Structure 1
């Protein structure tokens, strides 16, 4: 219990959403409140040359979308907040899935105009797998969108989660007048094209007060009273334990671009969000209050600074205290390593830290020692579980366009696949390199980064595979026989594990039926 005070003031969360729901904008508003940045960058405006603080790769700034998870740390009201901004685009879902293993809670941004979209569903499934506590922020209330009750019903139905509104909107679109805070009993008034300020907030002990009619007009004041009565009648007080168990999601309404309704959510988040939790490992549950240090790598990023060929491994601290220049045990490599310059992050800005506690996300310089899922401890051997690699959906052969740059291409593709951008398979008994991704956009990113960062030009040829399955068997001879007969469809992943590349669902089912002694796995966590 040595570090109880430090653990209690930590909050680690990820912001997730469908692309363009306003996630990166919301991230920036949090950073403004935390005093971490002075001005927000308009993510897609070419007029403003300040790009979004959390988008730091060149390709992200050109396209106006986030393609890698950014990590930001800031102080707010006595709490140390570790915020992870994730890519919304479905092609980068795997990066987001892994990020969700490193946080204790999630803020889900829903666009009030478009409602629940495909990517939102997928992300919520991952949250539910882990019972991650979720807060919902319904954004863009100043645009004409769906009816507020219909929207809540849609979210509950589509995402299979109970909602509990903590603020309530007064109209929407051009008639949007503000939100009523059900938690703190105050009214926050909205004026178009201005940022919300303290003086826009009215403390109201009773909604029957005439001030409400004066500020909103008789009709809107009456509608608000009816709505609040209905919402209170249905939901009552928020049960914080239900939220922490992932059963109920508090809901806030606002407009991130106008900085409206964001502070109310952040204040509530600080009050109710979970502090760092204990975690499952391959041996036992590691209690967050244990004195000995442990943590795991959930993300690797090469060339954070293009001028220096650096690789940063992002580590989530799970127990104990991490100290600069102290030796820690790298479980997979069975060797001791130390770090002279561990970092905390504000997107691209890095600060060297002396120590870190459970809940913190820190960056470690990596010379090629780390892979995603690696565990560091103070001597004990175990792995943190639940950090799987998923089967890709699109497969392409990597073709070198410049034989003079073969070495650069090999190095580049090894480093990029270590980051988890894509998966690399080598054809069994041959040297054909096959890249597996979740979406097409990832191939564009790989091609762009190989050229920009390694000077290697390549192209991709589409391959007719439908899924990659890791194969294992207790009978070694059966496995050898299978790989010999199916050599055209068998490859090895980067760790030398055998993978069967199925052309279709029919082929996969046939092989599973014909080979009962061989197990086909859709994630690679089986090898941990």
Structure 2
């Protein structure tokens, strides 16, 4: 049996969950089509999803198409939950991108297709809501090609557009777009020897390589165009690959808690076969699989094993995390989307137990690692990183509904980073000056280009001391760089160990090992932060704030009122175009100003303004005071305070 792991993606409210319902109904999995508004859909199972009418967590459901078993993954459309989409992309064989025939290409539509193309994931486009007033077809095809910068191939035409009678009629595929990517097809086209079979074969091949994207029109509400889309899914998207006899390799893309609080991992198996009672390495840990659920005909059925190509739910892996590889690690994709750029402090209500709140937030972070908990022991505060205000509201409602914990939040602030301004070096030597640790550590910090992250290297011989001490230094360097001179995470730098030294295992005569005379990992972990921050001081660091790239389309006669507001919010238009009675501004704006602008745009544009923005880069803070972030560590910036916290004394 052929398998296909299919993702349904879209900008929020394009109708992706409704399309999922229609596909399940067409396959005979459900008897009645659920309603997003009524909260009765198959894949939106969380109470909060049903209340809000949006998808928050990815969900998996299986259905057959003739001899193909499709594991369909419904993903969130709201940009605040893009991390949930990111985790799914790495396990897909193909995707359907849903676009509204009324609203057309929206901010998230562009981000999603750009990412799908970059990853080479074969993608069909389904233009939904052709039955709605204001629906477009020909004009929308031009918009898809222009604004998505992607080759699209219309698979037919629409009649009755904008009415409940709207219908999709599959037609002959034209070869012009295909010929741009297939030289043999182009030659046959020029020679007049092209056949429909040759065109169809080229369409399959080019779609499978994510070079072109077939476009279907229809309506999830009426079912128009859905049978043709199902045929396209079967014919044009490639089946899952993988050798069930090969070494085990799987990826965990979702973790949830069961009714008894047990962890359940969702994993795609790429190679080999996973069986119950198998001991499975994942990350630097290991666990035993106690039960397996394989998705089949709308539900998951208990099985003793799951082979390559399938998606399963796994019980027993108590320490598993989202993103873990099971068995042989797979090649990492890296990050597909931007990291969260906002942060807020969680404020417990009067009757909320802080320990219970910390446990609940930890469990939420298990399911979404990018929540990024940051606990401040001194102030007894916990911060979470976020994509936007809707995500903050969802966290608040989840804590109340699932854990009975009432919380509020402080004002959302931008999540900045620090970058070294130059090069700096520092060293402390064992038994010299005021070094209280039995360790020698020298470090050099150098600035690197934006986007390169942090690297750690050795400028000393690897055999100069036990490997465990080098590992202690590297781990501590990475942990210390989470808080730079101004409290923000330090990135885009190279750290090199320039000096090292230790005291070998020693003891008094006729006595056992005496750690007061011999170096331990604690010495290197204790000294490294002092050396690193001194090197960073000498290099200097600059705070960079997150910047969004924005696109604003509005009536041209509202430009006079818009520009002063944009300027006040530090938005810098870089290009301006006029199209008839409308103008299009594109530029950059600090992430901290985006929410305020989103609230002002409707009033400034008579409700006709279209705003879209997404994280683009970090830029040095040049306006106002340099933002500081309270430290949560032992503060190596203050040597006396640090040593008092770490060693109980202030000097050697």
Q: Normalising to structure 2: TM-score of the pair?
A: 0.60
Are the counterparts in 2 of residues 490 and 501 from structure 1 also a CA contact under 8 Å?
no
Range 467-476 or range 56-65, more displaced: 467-476
Pick 1 or 2: higher relative contact order, CA cutoff 8 A, min separation 6. 1
The residue aligned with 2:340 is: 392
Structure 1 residues 327-370: Cα deviation after superposition (integer angstroms, max 9, x where no partner): 3222321x2x2222212348995421232233322112366411
CA–CA distance in 1 between the matches of 2:102 and 2:362? 41
**For residues 241-288 of structure 1, what are the alpha-carbon distances to aligned partners after superposition, in whole Å with 9 as ceiling and x for unaligned?**
1111111001111111111210111122112211124xxxxxxxxx65
Whether 2:27 is the aligned partner of 1:34: answer: yes
How far 1:390 sits from its partner (Å)? Answer: 4.4
Residue 488 of structure 2: aligned partner: 489
What whole-Å deviation, never above 9, does each CA across 1:399-453 have from its counterpart, x for those lacking one? 2224762222111101101111742242688554221111211111111111222
Q: Which residue is 2:251 aligned to?
A: 296
SS at match of 2:372: strand
The one of 395, 402, 420 equivalent to 1:446 is 395
1:376 & 1:441 partners in 2: Cα distance? 33
Counterpart in 1 of 2:312?
362
User: How far apart are the structure 2 equivalents of 1:423 and 1:86?
Assistant: 18
CA contact (8 A) 1:422 1:442 kept: no
CA spacing shift, 1:331–1:489, aligned 2, 3 Å: closer
* 1:420 pairs with one of 350, 368, 371: 368
Deviation at 1:55, TM superposition (A): 0.6
Quote how far apart the aligned CAs of 1:396 are. 0.1
Which range moves more in the overlay, 502-511 or 29-38? 502-511
Written as runs of structure 1 = structure 2, the 5 A alignment for 1:252-263 is 252-263=216-227
- Secondary structure class of the residue paired with 1:435: strand
Give 1:271-420 correspondences, 5 Å limit: 271-277=235-241, 291-303=246-258, 307-333=259-285, 335=286, 337-345=287-295, 349-365=299-315, 368-377=318-327, 380=328, 382-386=329-333, 388=335, 390-402=338-350, 405-420=353-368
2:69 to 80, 100, 123: 80
Distance 1:97 1:76 in 2: 26
Corresponding residue of 1:164: 153
In structure 2, C-alpha distance between the alignment counterparts of 1:502 and 1:347, rounded to whole Å: 52
Q: 1:421 to 1:261 in 2, by over 3 A?
A: farther
Where do residues 513-528 of structure 1 align in structure 2 (5 Å cutoff)? none
> In the alignment, which residue of structure 1 is the partner of 2:16?
23
SS of 1:116's partner is coil
Stretches of structure 1 lacking an aligned partner (at least 5 in a row): 1-5, 186-231, 278-286, 512-528
Q: How far is the alpha carbon of 1:88 from its aligned partner? A: 1.0
Give the aligned partner of residue 122 of structure 1.
111
1:151-190 residue CA offsets vs partner (Å, 9 max, x unmatched): 10100111111111222212411385522222699xxxxx
Following superposition, the deviation at residue 106 of structure 1 comes to 0.7
Segment drifting more, 255-264 vs 446-455: 446-455
Task: Describe the shift of the 1:93–1:501 C-alpha distance in structure 2 as closer, same or farther (beyond 3 A).
Answer: farther
SS at match of 1:121: helix
Larger radius of gyration: 2
2:128 maps to what in 1?
139
Q: Which moved more, 1:123-132 or 1:420-429?
A: 420-429
Shift of 1:236: 5.6
Distance 1:115 1:265 in 2: 19
CA contact (8 A) 1:466 1:503 kept: no
Contact 2:348 2:406 in 1 (8 A): yes
Measure the CA separation in 2 of the matches of 1:501 and 1:458. Answer: 34
User: 450-459 vs 151-160, which deviates more?
Assistant: 450-459
Look up the SS of the partner of 1:317 in the other structure: strand
Residue of structure 2 equivalent to 1:521: none
Cα distance in 2 for residues equivalent to 1:65 and 1:173: 24
CA contact (8 A) 1:447 1:459 kept: yes
1:442 to 1:241, Cα distance in 2 relative to 1, 3 A? same
* Structural RMSD (CA): 3.6
How far the C-alpha of 1:54 sits from its partner, in A, is 0.9
> Does 171-180 or 405-414 show the bigger shift?
171-180
Segments of 5+ residues of structure 2 without an aligned counterpart are 175-194, 420-452, 458-472, 492-524, 533-540, 548-589, 591-617, 622-652
CA contact (8 A) 1:33 1:76 kept: no
Give the secondary-structure state (helix, strand or coil) at the position aligned to 2:221.
helix
Give the drift of 1:374: 0.5
Q: CA deviation at 1:479?
A: 7.6
What is the match of residue 246 of structure 1? 210
Aligned partner (choices 542, 545, 569) of residue 504 of structure 1: 545
**Alignment correspondent of 2:234:** 270
Is 2:420 the counterpart of 1:472? no
- Whether the 8 Å CA contact 1:467–1:504 is kept in 2: the answer is yes
Contact 1:105 1:274 in 2 (8 A): yes
SS of 2:55's equivalent? coil
Relative distance call for 1:488 and 1:327 in structure 2 (3 A) is: closer
Q: Is the 8 A contact 2:342 2:388 kept in 1?
A: yes
